[in-house]
A and B are shown apart, each in its own frame.
Chain A
Amino acid sequence: MTIDTAVLTNEEKISFALRSLYHRRGYAPYRMSRFEEYELYMKNKDFLRSPQVISFTDTNGKLMALKPDVTLSIVRAWRPAADEAQKFYYDENVYRVSESSGAFREIRQTGVECLGVRDDPGTAEVLGLALDSLKLISPDYQLCVSLLGVVEDVLDLAQLHGDARRDALRCMGEKNVHELRAVLDLAGVKQPDAERIARLTLCTAAPSEASDALGAIGCPEAAPEEAKRFAAALPPEAQGHVSLDFSILGDMRYYNSLAFQGYVRGVPSSVLSGGVYDRLLRRMGKPGRAIGFACYLDKLERLEVGAHA
């Protein structure tokens, strides 16, 4: 059977190309039901991009939901194996509220999950795959990465907790330094600590320069070292396509270590996002490390034809 690619939409072409890429890299396809028990999402509401879920009562009386997310279902079904990481890829429709219209939409999402990762090389492999995914979508791409450990250390150093920490993180995510300073002032954070947090919020740097940048900001000693390790683990082809940006923050009750977002020129919001989510595993009673990302194919509908491979 021959498929005439001229009849495929952007979304379909990119979806096929991504699936082929993940398959070649040794990831196994993961197919799941369109429905999931509602309780799973209620327990992990903050992990979802939007908290609203389409729910219904099944014929057996069980409250079910049209799945708004894929990662939670994969983690729930995952049985940890002692010897090696398990790698999955998926191409699924999810149902969530659109940020722009406020109404539910069916969104096509393709991504990978790597569960039971042991070390930095495993993490680097997934970051490499995220970069290759972006490259496949468009030659003009950028992956912005945050080292969440550095952010947490700097906030801990300022002894920032509770509501003030939550408000500070919101301001950091908006690069909103003027309000961040007010939040820190109100919380009684000392001036040098407040200045360090403000400078970290605005810090964007190439991986090779991040260690020096973090040192200049006055981050705890471990931060420049972590940046060095991160830069060393990146593949050579990442040069010019990766930057560290400490305003990229996942929900730290779930994410730790790394959070990242991918952009391609011509699309006004991130087309890929992911991170290390060991804390989600803990919350779901599972050991080990996990990293994954999703590509939002619905955002690529209007990307000019020819931009992707």
Chain B
Amino acid sequence: MLNIALPKGRLGEKVYGMFERAGFECPSIREENRKLFFENEALGIRYFWVKPSDVAIYVARGAADIGVAGKDILLEYRPDVYELLDLHVGKCRMCVAGPKDFRDDPARTLRVATKFSHIATDYYTSIGRDIDVIGLNGSIELAPILGLSDVTVDIVETGTTLRENNLAVLETIVPISARLIANKASFVFYKARIEELTRALAKEATA
């Protein structure tokens, strides 16, 4: 049985659609119920929904053989997994944002509010800028407005929240999308199945 962790929510439903069209369907997943996992015994697959940021943990620790996680999570938590495919869905950008008229003063340490401290640190290290990371868990955009930070590092999908709060994207750090990941040991023992699934999904991703 191949265990597949999918992210809960709209992205997960979109991704399941890709698995379904690729020939890895599991009709019970479409039923209205409170089940936590869904099996198609004939195909030897079992799906389960987990919080998007937890998918990589389930896969890295072998509770799931494969899964779908955002590139933001992979960059931030660096799980020891294979990244087999860019599914080209859930597209957004990891950006530096701040007041529209923001000018960086190199004489001061830059205060950066973010949920993604590794990504922010890596980015600013790569350009040699000293920063003070302010770790927040939500409403990141509020930080520069209230003077808690100079800028934010966060995911930007449409940019509407930024615009409505007189903020703007200052830099794009990296494009983000959903990725198919695999546990390294599972890849060894279920190589043929995982490769078959990857090939089928690749066709869906480029369709």
Contact = CB atoms under 8 A, between A and B. Distances in A.
Indicate, yes or no, whether A interacts with B.
yes
Interface of A: 99-100, 140, 142, 144, 174-176, 178-179, 204, 243, 247, 263, 265, 267-270
Nearest to B191: A204
A268 B60 contact: yes
A34 to B, nearest CB: 27
B121 to A, nearest CB: 14
Given A142-B188, A144-B188, A204-B191, A268 B61 contact: yes
Contacts of A176: 82-84
A47 B7 CA distance: 36
Contact of B62 (A99, A243, A268): A268
Contacts of A100: 60-61
Interface stretch (B37-45, B161-169, B178-186): B178-186
B85 A178 contact: yes
B189 A142 contact: yes
A116 to B, nearest CB: 32
* 10 nearest A-B pairs in the assembled complex, by CB-CB distance: A268-B62, A176-B83, A175-B82, A178-B86, A263-B185, A263-B188, A174-B83, A142-B188, A268-B185, A265-B189
Interface of B: 60-62, 80-86, 182-189, 191
B72 to A, nearest CB: 14
Nearest to B183: A268
A270 B184 contact: yes
Interface of A is mostly: loop
Contact of B186 (A140, A178, A247, A268): A268
Contact of A174 (B61, B62, B82, B183): B82
Nearest to A202: B195
A99 B80 contact: yes
Nearest to A144: B188
Contacts, number: 47
Nearest to B82: A175
Among A140, A178, A263, the most chain B Cβ lie within 10 Å of the Cβ of: A178
Nearest to B78: A99
A50 to B, nearest CB: 12
Contact of A270 (B81, B82, B84, B185): B185
23 contacts: A100-B60, A142-B189, A174-B81, A174-B82, A174-B83, A175-B82, A175-B83, A175-B84, A176-B83, A178-B85, A178-B86, A179-B86, A204-B191, A247-B82, A263-B184, A263-B188, A263-B189, A268-B62, A268-B186, A269-B62, A269-B185, A270-B184, A270-B185
A244 to B, nearest CB: 12
B1 to A, nearest CB: 13
Nearest to B80: A99
B91 to A, nearest CB: 13
A144 B84 CA distance: 18
A24 B82 CA distance: 37
B80 A269 contact: yes
A267 B82 CA distance: 16
Given A174-B81, A176-B83, A269-B62, 7 more contacts: A99-B80, A140-B189, A144-B188, A178-B85, A263-B184, A267-B62, A269-B60
A61 B177 CA distance: 52
Contacts of B191: 204
Nearest to B181: A174
Nearest to B61: A268
Nearest to A175: B82
Among B86, B187, B188, the most chain A Cβ lie within 10 Å of the Cβ of: B188
Nearest to B63: A268
Contacts of B189: 140, 142, 263, 265
Contacts of A265: 185, 189
Contacts of B84: 175-176
Given A100-B60, A204-B191, A267 B185 contact: yes
Contacts of B83: 174-176, 179
A204 B195 CA distance: 11
B128 to A, nearest CB: 15
Contacts of B82: 174-176, 247
B84 to A, nearest CB: 6
B20 to A, nearest CB: 22
B62 to A, nearest CB: 2
B125 to A, nearest CB: 14
Nearest to A176: B83
Contacts of B186: 268
Nearest to B189: A265
Among A99, A176, A270, the most chain B Cβ lie within 10 Å of the Cβ of: A176
A52 to B, nearest CB: 15
B29 to A, nearest CB: 24
B147 to A, nearest CB: 31
A245 to B, nearest CB: 8
